[in-house]
Amino acid sequence: MERCLLIHEVLRSICENLRNPDLLSVALSTKALLGPALNSLWREIYTFKPLVSCLPPEEEIWIVEETPTFLGPPFSDTMKILQTIDGPALTTVSPACFHPPPDLHRYTSFYAHRIRSFQPCILSSVFPSVEALEALQLAADGKRGALAPLAQSFSWPSLTEFQMVLRDELIIGLSPYMSLFLGEVIDTLVLEVPSETPVHAGAIELALQRCPRLKNLAINLSINPDVDKRFVERCFSSKAWECLELVEVPFVSATLMRCFAQLPSLKTLHFLHNQGSIDLPHCTPEEMVQRLKTTPFGEDFLVLEELIVYGTTVGGFIGILQCIPPGTNVIKILQCYCSDGGDISLTKTQQAIDTIVMHCNPQMLTHLEFQDGHRVLEVEDLVEVDLDQELDISSLLIFTKLQELSLNLVAPIRLSPDGIEQIIMSFREIEKLELHRGIYPTFRPPPLVDHTHLIALLQGRTSLKALAMPLDMSKANGEKACGAPFALTKLSVGDSPIYSPSKVVAFLKANCPGVKALSYARCSESGASIFSRRWEVVEQKWRDFMDSTRML
């Protein structure tokens, strides 16, 4: 055991798997564990309290003010605001001749270099005032990154978030002091879109200028939905950003897409909280073919591997995809989660599918998820239904490397037995296959495939673990199929036809006993269908079965 304590990797592994209270005990147990335990304890800091705890007691150098917050239970209704007392400890005589107090020197020499991530949370019970931060800056001789010199990740709350817990007069001027935690090795910044406060915007711009080697940059949308688009666009257009690998921004525009297209190291691109704010034109795939004949793409998005879009429309998603060079890109993960609103017609959704096929590389795409945003769409008592109005997804079969395919769309997808065979032949690595609206009750024509086709799919693609699609389970029974039990762990059936819950449970026990999650179309405002009520019985019996197997 003593030999193990001489191996640094062993000590680090031990400490990385302990909680903070245990780390404190371990740090005091033996000298060999002191350093590794403190490294783990200080690696990620979410409050100013550790820093304040290293300084003299509050009554010696701080004026402690209890200020009300606006959070309410279960959070504290007051926060300690620290202000410096005019005294010898942090007297602001002059930066040139100022001598840092011993306690701050102890922090900077023994603790500060252990911090790798500093993300102050507004829910912290202690927060320094502007005067306190200014005193710390003077005590640190104004050195950039003095309070966390080796921090790699940094985030700073927005002014809107600060206003939840601090008075306005305590907020003005806070942002410039974020430089105390921005050292030379910062590679990840998480910042909020600035409000109309020029000081806050200037502090963010200065922070970006001082971190030219950033790898990850997230500019998020604060609680205030207004976005200063020009500021965000200027952040990316004013520098080359040669090392930037991950970008998160709260909106999309043609200017941003042009900037991102030229980033030589960009691998991950996330558009978050768009709220339908997509300033990108789009056209049909046929029109794009004609455009490419006269205006081909340059060397854009050369290494982009992951593209995720939240809060857009189907048309906006098409516009984003049409900024990507068709066929030659290396995108592996493509996900789009649309918000409510916009055109979700069958024609528009089909255009989106065709655009995916046109612009994504069949040899690279492994994960595809597309959700149109309308979770519930009930159609009751339709007199006439056109079964020919269905989404054609056969063109997606060219993506033979797919491991996950999830299409959560209003437009109906109805697989035929031949379609099951084509999936078996094409998607040789598929692990997750979702082709319907999931647990939300929607009108759908009756499925063309039954439990026998499910068995064929599981036999042909043994890697399949998650499946969501309508199935006719009216003839399911407890017969065990060849190759069972299968690896399926998640099954979603929507409002699939079912007549005997007991036989369906017997079918699952015989062929898919490893299913941990079983979902179906829940009750709607108009009441549960008979199929939903039967699936509810299956769910309860299956839960009892899983409980009994855990006890064995």
Task: Please write the tens of the pLDDT for every residue from 385-422.
Answer: 566 778 999 999 999 999 999 999 888 888 999 999 99
pLDDT at 437: 62
The arithmetic mean of pLDDT across residues 89-115, rounded, is 62
| pLDDT exceeds cutoff 60 at 88 | no
**Using H for helix, E for strand and C for coil, what is the string for 498-544?**
CCCHHHHHHHHHHHCCCCCEEECCCCECCECCHHHHHHHHHHHHHHH
pLDDT at 95: 28
Whole-Å CA distances, 134 to 167, 425, 480: 18, 66, 73
Rounded to two decimals, the pTM is 0.86
Contact call for residues 55 and 103 (beta carbons, < 8 A): yes
pLDDT at 89: 31
Q: Name the β-bridge partners of 404.
A: 367, 432
Lowest mean pLDDT among 47-51, 107-111, 167-171, 526-530: 167-171
Of 111 and 161, more confident: 111
The arithmetic mean of pLDDT across residues 422-435, rounded, is 97
| pLDDT exceeds cutoff 60 at 90 | no
Of 291 and 145, more confident: 145
Gap between the Cα atoms of 200 and 356, Å rounded: 40
pLDDT at 495: 85
| pLDDT exceeds cutoff 50 at 70 | no
Query: H-type helices in 30-129, by residue range?
Result: 31-42, 49-53, 58-61, 102-110
Gap between the Cα atoms of 441 and 36, Å rounded: 53
pLDDT at 7: 60
Gap between the Cα atoms of 389 and 245, Å rounded: 42
pLDDT band at residue 96, thresholds of 50, 70 and 90?
A: very low
Of 30 and 195, more confident: 30
Burial class (CB in 10 A: 0-12, 13-18, 19+), 263: buried
The arithmetic mean of pLDDT across residues 532-541, rounded, is 94
Among residues of the chain, what percentage have pLDDT more than 70?
Answer: 76
- Chain position carrying tokens 């064995």: 552
- Chain position carrying tokens 């909106």: 251
pLDDT at 151: 95
pLDDT at 124: 64
The arithmetic mean of pLDDT across residues 330-340, rounded, is 92
| pLDDT exceeds cutoff 90 at 355 | yes
Of 123 and 481, more confident: 481
| pLDDT exceeds cutoff 70 at 459 | yes
Contact call for residues 83 and 9 (beta carbons, < 8 A): no
The arithmetic mean of pLDDT across residues 346-369, rounded, is 95
What is the CB neighbour count within 10 angstroms for residue 379? Answer: 9
Gap between the Cα atoms of 173 and 132, Å rounded: 12
Burial class (CB in 10 A: 0-12, 13-18, 19+), 330: middle
Among residues of the chain, what percentage have pLDDT more than 90?
Answer: 44
Gap between the Cα atoms of 314 and 21, Å rounded: 49
| pLDDT exceeds cutoff 80 at 367 | yes
Domain boundaries, the chain: 1-42, 44-186
CA angle, 234 then 46 then 271, to 5°:
35
| pLDDT exceeds cutoff 90 at 38 | no
pLDDT at 357: 96
Task: Please write the tens of the pLDDT for every residue from 251-281.
Answer: 888 899 999 999 999 999 999 866 555 667 8
pLDDT at 3: 58
pLDDT at 387: 65
Lowest mean pLDDT among 116-120, 137-141, 435-439, 522-526: 522-526
User: Sign (positive/negative) of CA torsion 420, 422, 428, 429?
Assistant: negative
**pLDDT averaged over every residue in the chain:** 81
Q: What percent helix, strand, coil does the chain show, rounded to 5? A: 35, 15, 50
The arithmetic mean of pLDDT across residues 332-348, rounded, is 86
| pLDDT exceeds cutoff 50 at 29 | yes
User: Token digits for 175?
Assistant: 């942002």
The arithmetic mean of pLDDT across residues 431-456, rounded, is 81
Task: Please write the tens of the pLDDT for every residue from 288-323.
Answer: 888 877 777 878 999 999 999 998 889 889 999 999
